[in-house]
Amino acid sequence: MVRLPYSTALTTLFSYGLLFAFGQLRDLFRKIIDWFKSSSEDLKGYAPICLGLEDFYTRRLYLRIQDCFCRPIASAPDAWFDVVERYSEDSNKTLHRTSKTSKCLNLGSYNYLGFAAADEYCTPRVIESLKKYSPSTCSIRVDGGTTDLHTELEELVARFVGKPAAVTFGMGYATNSSIIPALIGKGGLIISDSLNHNSIVNGARGSGAAIRVFQHNNVAHLEKVLREQIAEGQPRTHRPWKKIIIIVEGIYSMEGELCPLAEVIAVCKKYKAYIYLDEAHSIGAVGKSGKGVCELLGVDPADVDIMMGTFTKSFGSCGGYIAASKEVVQYLKDTCPAHVYATSMSPPAVQQVISSLKVILGEDGSSRGSQKLAQIRENSNFFRCELKKMGFEVLGDNDSPIMPIMLYNPAKIPAFSRECLKQNVAVVMVAFPASPLLLARTRICISAAHSREDLLKGLEVISKVGDLVGIKYFPTEPPKHETKVYKVE
Amino acid sequence: MAAAVISMTTAALDWVSVVFDAPLARAVVFGVHIDGHLVVEVLLIAVILFQLTRKSYKPPKKPLTEKEIDDLCEEWVPESLHPPITEEMKVEPPTLESAAGPHTVIDGKKVVNFASANYLGLIGNDKIIDSCVASLEKYGVGSCGPRGFYGTIDVHLDCETRIAKFMGTPDSILYSYGISTIFSVIPAFCKKGDIIVADEGVHWGVQNGLYLSRSTVVYFKHNDMTSLEGTLEKLTRGNRQAEKIRRYIVVEALYQNSGQVAPLNEIMRLKEKYRFRVILEESHSFGVLGNTGRGLAEHYGVSIEKIDIITAGMGNALATDGGFCIGSARVVDHQRLSSSGYVFSASLPPYLASAAVAAVNYLEDNPTVLTTLRSNVSLLWKGLSDIPGLTIASDPSSPLVFLKLKKSTSSSKCDLELLNKIAEKALREDSVFVVSTKRSVLDKCHLPVGIRLFVSAGHTVSDIKKVSDSLRRVAALVLAEHI
C-alpha cells in the first residue's frame, strides 16, 4: 500500500501543473512560428500523422528526461555491465552515442538467477545447438518449425511447473495477446486485476469478450464483482455468460507484490470461474525450488486452470509458455495464432531454457541451482530490509526480488537517475504511463549474480543519493548492534 | 314576473359578492387592494403546487437479495474451457532432427525441405553462425529487459542503422518478434475514428492489428485494383470530413495466403489521387523482390520515401527472428514510445540482431543469390505446370509457390483433407516435405486453401525435379476419384 504524504501530493501536482503550463506555452509559440513558415506541399490534404495532443507528453515532458531511459549497454546484462555514454547538443532532443563506456552496477535488468551472461553449463550447449540447428527455422511451428528441441522443452516445462502438458512460443508478449482470444470470445467475461500488464490488456481487448476490472489484490472486491456479473448476465440481453476467466499475475512488475493466490482460487472454485495465472516475473525466481508462486504460497498447480510464464526473466532467454491440461494444450496448438502463424522459437534460445531448467532442477549434476535460488532469496530480503531501515518507502512483499522505491515528484526522477549513474549504479525509472501520474518510482531488480559487496555498494550509493534528492519519507531506524539472521525457508 | 326573477338574481349576486368581498372588503395589504377572487386563485395555485410535489406512482424496484444472487450463482453452468477435441486437432506436425535448410532429417530419413521460408538459403551459412557465436559469448542469449530499461544493446542500434542504410531511409526500429511487428505498428498510428482500407487476404497479424486499432476497417477484394478504387471512391465521395480523418491503405507486398504480389504502382497512383497513406507489410518480399532484394518498392521502381510505413518480419529471407519497421524519422520516433510491442516487451536477443546484420551484409555483397532464387522459381513453375487437379495460383515472381485445387469441393474443410493427404503421402513415400495451408479458427480470411512450397536459393536442380515428379505422382493418386 502506497502511503503518500499530503505535502508530497501537493508539490507533485504543482510540479506537473508547472510542466504542463510550460509545455502548452511552448506549443503555442511553435504554432505561431509554424504559421509564418509555409508547410510543404506534399502533406496538403493529409491529416497529420500524430495529432497535437496525442504526443504532448512525449514532446514536452518525456524529451526533457530522455537520457534516463533507453540507455544502451555494450556488454551482457550481468551484475556489472558497461553503459554506453551519450551526449546531446540540443538539450536532450537527440542523443548521440559515444564509444566510451562506464562499468556500472546493474540494478535494473531482469536477471533473477544470473543466467544473463555466458554460463559454464548453458553456453557451450547453446553454441552446439546453434551450429546444429541454425539461428532460426524460418518456418511456423505447424509447418516445419518443430524440432526435437522444441518437443523436449515442452515436456520439461510441463514437468517443472507441475501440469500435464505445455506449449511454448517465441515471445512472451505475443503469448498473452494470442492465447486469450483463443480461449474466450464474444459472450464471455474476463475479470482482470487493475494493475495487469499491457500484454494481458491487449489480449483481452483482442478477444472481443467483456472486460471488468477488480481492485488490485482485493479478493473481497473480486467476489463482489463476480456475484454481480453472474447475477446480471451479459449486458443488455441478460443472457448468462458463456464462461468467466479471472486473470491475475504472480508478481506484479511495478509493485513487487505477490497475489493472494489461495484466496483467489477459493473464490474461483466457489463460483465456477476459470483462473489464468501469469507468472512472468515469479517463475524461477520465488519458491523453494524455483517453481513460482504456487510453491511459495502452497497452492496445488492442479487448481490453476492455465499457467503462463516467460523465459526472459529467470532463464536468460526469450519466449513464453502456457501449461495446462492435455486437452487445452491440444486445442491451443490447433487454434492459437502465435503457434499457427508465427515463426517458431529460435533453437539456441530453446536450448538455453532447457539447460537453465536442468541447472535449476539439479539435473546437471551440481547444486548450482539451489545455490542460486537461496542466493536470490537472501539478497532480496537483505536489500529490502536495509532500504526500509534507511527510511525509504519500499513497496513489495518479502521474498520478491522486485522492489520499487517511491519518488513521487517528477523532478526527482532525472535527479535520482543521473546522480546514481555518476556514482556507477544503473537504476531504472518508472514514470507515467507505466505507472499512475503521481506515483513515479524507481524499481530495483535483484539478481542471484549480485554478491554481498555489490549490494552494500548499491545501498551506500542509494542512501547518499536519497539524502541528496530527499526521498527518505520515513524516519530512519537507529542502527542495531546485534546481527540479524535472515530466515531461509 | 320577469322583473321579480331579475330582482331575485341581482339580489342573490349582490349577496354573493358581499360574502366574497366582506372579510377583505376594505383590506389593503402592502398597498395592494385585495379582491375576493384573489383568494380563489391563491387556493387553486396552492392545490396545484401540492399535487406537483406528490411523487408519481412507480412500482417499487426490488434489488436482488443475497439469497437470490446465491441461487443464480449456483445454477450457472459455464462452458468448458476448450471445445471437444477432434481428430484433426490431435495430429502433430513432423519433428525435424537437424537444421531446417534445403535438406533436413525427419524421423531419421533425409528429406528435401520445401516448408521453410529460407529464401536466400542462409540457414547453415558459416559467416552468420560465426557472428552469432561471437555474440553469444559476449552477450549471452537473452537481453533481460525491454528497450527502455537497459535492454538496448549496441548490436540493436547497429542493426537498426544497418537496415536503414540498406533500405535508404533515415532510421528503422527493431521489434523482438516477427508477427508482433505489424500488430503493434497499426494501433500506434490508427486510432478510433480513422478509416482503413485493407485487402481481404491479409494474414492474422494484420487482422489483429486492425481490430486492436478500433478504426473503421473496410475490406476490398483480394488484390483487385478496381475493387480498391471503388472502395476509395465510395469512402471519399462527398465526404467533407474525410480531409480531417487519417486514412490508410493496408496491403501485403507478397500475400502469405495466396502468393500474389500487390501491384504497387497502381496502389501509389490511387493513394496520391485519394490522399491515403500506405502501410506495406513486406515479410515475405524483403530480401526477395527487386534487383538487389530491397523489396516491392525496388521491384516496381517506386522511390522509398513515397511509402509511409513499411514493416517486415525477419524470419524469412534473413533467416533470423524479429521484425523491423521503416519510414520517415517522425514515424520511427513515434513508435519508440507508443508502440506496445516495442515498449512493453523484452528486446530481441542480441545474437539474432547480429545474425540480421550478417544476413543484410551477405545480401548486399552477393546479389547473385537472387538470380539463383529466380531461376529456381521458374524451373519449379515449369515442373508444376501440368499436375493433374492442381493449378498454380501465385505470382510468377513469388518464391512462395501456392497450388490450389482446380476443382474445389463444397467446403474448404474437405479441400484441406485432400491437400493434407497429398502432403503427407509426399513426405512418407517420396521424402519431399511440402505443407498445406494452416488456418486458425480465429482467422477471418476466406481465400481458398492450397499447398505451399517455399523455394530457396539453396535448392538444387535435382531437388526441384524431385518435388515436381513427386507431386505429379501423388496428386494423380489422391485426386483420381475427385477429378
Residue numbers of the domain that contains A354: 122-361
**End-to-end CA, chain B:** 119
**Chain A positions in Cβ-Cβ contact with residue B94 (cut-off 8 Å):** 144, 146
**B212 to chain A: nearest residue by CA?**
A206
**CB-CB: which of A119, A146, A227 is closest to B96?**
A146
Residue type for position A340 = V
Mean pLDDT of B263-289: 91
Residue A260: DSSP 8-state: -
- Contact yes or no for A243 and B244 at CB 8 A: no
**A173 to chain B: nearest residue by CA?**
B345
- pLDDT greater than 70 at residue B20: no
- A66's CB contacts (< 8 A; 6+ apart) are A92, A93, A95
Distance CA(A54)–CA(A43), nearest Å, equals 19
Distance CA(A309)–CA(A295), nearest Å, equals 15
Whole-number pLDDT of residue A42: 46
Residue A41 pLDDT grade (very low, low, confident, very high; cuts 50, 70, 90): very low
Is ipTM strictly over 0.95?
no
Among A7-11, A51-55, A390-394, the range scoring the smallest mean pLDDT is: A51-55
- The last residue of one of the domains, among A361, A396, A420, is A361
In a domain, A275, yes or no: yes
pLDDT (tens digit per residue) in A420-459? 999 999 999 988 777 888 888 899 999 999 999 999 999 9
Mean pLDDT of B56-73: 81
CATH number at residue A167: 3.40.640.10
Helix boundaries (H) for A163-260? 172-183, 198-207, 219-232
In a domain, A10, yes or no: yes
For residues A7 and A137, membership in a common domain is answered with: no
Whole-number pLDDT of residue A489: 47
Whole-number pLDDT of residue A193: 92
Residue B240, C-alpha cell as written in the block: 467533407
- Contact yes or no for B178 and A62 at CB 8 A: no
Top residue of A73, A111, A123, A143 to mutate, by most chain B CBs within 10 Å, is A143
- The last residue of one of the domains, among A334, A361, A388, is A361
The pLDDT > 70 percentage for chain B reads 95
pLDDT (tens digit per residue) in A453-483? 999 999 999 999 999 988 888 877 766 554 5
For residues A143 and A261, membership in a common domain is answered with: yes
Whole-number pLDDT of residue B19: 67
- Contact yes or no for A140 and B101 at CB 8 A: no
- Cell 503555442 maps to which residue? A28
- Contact yes or no for A144 and B83 at CB 8 A: no
At CA A339, angle to CA B449 and CA A121, rounded to 5? 145
Mean pLDDT of A47-55: 66
**End-to-end CA, chain A:** 25
Whole-number pLDDT of residue A311: 92
In a domain, A117, yes or no: no
- Contact yes or no for B319 and A202 at CB 8 A: no
- pLDDT greater than 50 at residue B393: yes
Distance CA(A410)–CA(A454), nearest Å, equals 28
Mean pLDDT of B333-342: 87
For residues A183 and A326, membership in a common domain is answered with: yes
pLDDT (tens digit per residue) in A269-290? 999 999 999 999 989 888 888 8
Residue A351 pLDDT grade (very low, low, confident, very high; cuts 50, 70, 90): very high
For residues A266 and A344, membership in a common domain is answered with: yes
For residues A50 and A126, membership in a common domain is answered with: no
Mean pLDDT of B379-408: 88
For residues A85 and A33, membership in a common domain is answered with: yes
Q: How far is B386 from chain A (nearest CA, A)?
A: 25
- Contact yes or no for A139 and B99 at CB 8 A: no
Top residue of B69, B138, B144 to mutate, by most chain A CBs within 10 Å, is B144
**CB-CB: which of A97, A173, A328 is closest to B81?**
A328
For residues A407 and A287, membership in a common domain is answered with: no
In a domain, A289, yes or no: yes
**B308 to chain A: nearest residue by CA?**
A49
A470 SS3 class = coil
For residues A351 and A378, membership in a common domain is answered with: no
For residues A351 and A415, membership in a common domain is answered with: no
CATH number at residue A435: 3.90.1150.10
A156 SS3 class = helix
- pLDDT averaged over chain B? 88
**A128 to chain B: nearest residue by CA?**
B133
Residue B344: CB atoms within 10 A of its CB come to: 20
- Contact yes or no for A316 and B128 at CB 8 A: no
pLDDT (tens digit per residue) in B135-146? 999 998 988 889
Q: Are A79 and A106 in contact (CB under 8 A)?
A: yes
Mean pLDDT of A312-329: 91
**CB-CB: which of B81, B98, B101 is closest to A243?**
B81
Q: How far is A62 from chain B (nearest CA, A)?
A: 9
In a domain, A115, yes or no: no
In a domain, A340, yes or no: yes
Whole-number pLDDT of residue B88: 78
A249 SS3 class = strand
- pLDDT greater than 60 at residue B217: yes
Residue B478 pLDDT grade (very low, low, confident, very high; cuts 50, 70, 90): confident
Residue A60: DSSP 8-state: I
Mean pLDDT of B89-114: 88
For residues A297 and A338, membership in a common domain is answered with: yes
- pLDDT averaged over chain A? 87
Residue A326 pLDDT grade (very low, low, confident, very high; cuts 50, 70, 90): very high
In a domain, A248, yes or no: yes
B240/B372: higher pLDDT: B372
**B314 to chain A: nearest residue by CA?**
A138
Q: Are B309 and B331 in contact (CB under 8 A)?
A: yes
The pLDDT > 90 percentage for chain A reads 46
The pLDDT > 90 percentage for chain B reads 45
For residues A68 and A139, membership in a common domain is answered with: no
pLDDT (tens digit per residue) in B305-328? 899 999 999 988 899 999 999 999
In a domain, A113, yes or no: no
Number of domains in chain A: 2
For residues A99 and A188, membership in a common domain is answered with: no
Mean pLDDT of B119-131: 91
- The last residue of one of the domains, among A361, A393, A419, is A361
**A174 to chain B: nearest residue by CA?**
B180
- pLDDT greater than 70 at residue A44: no
Whole-number pLDDT of residue A88: 86
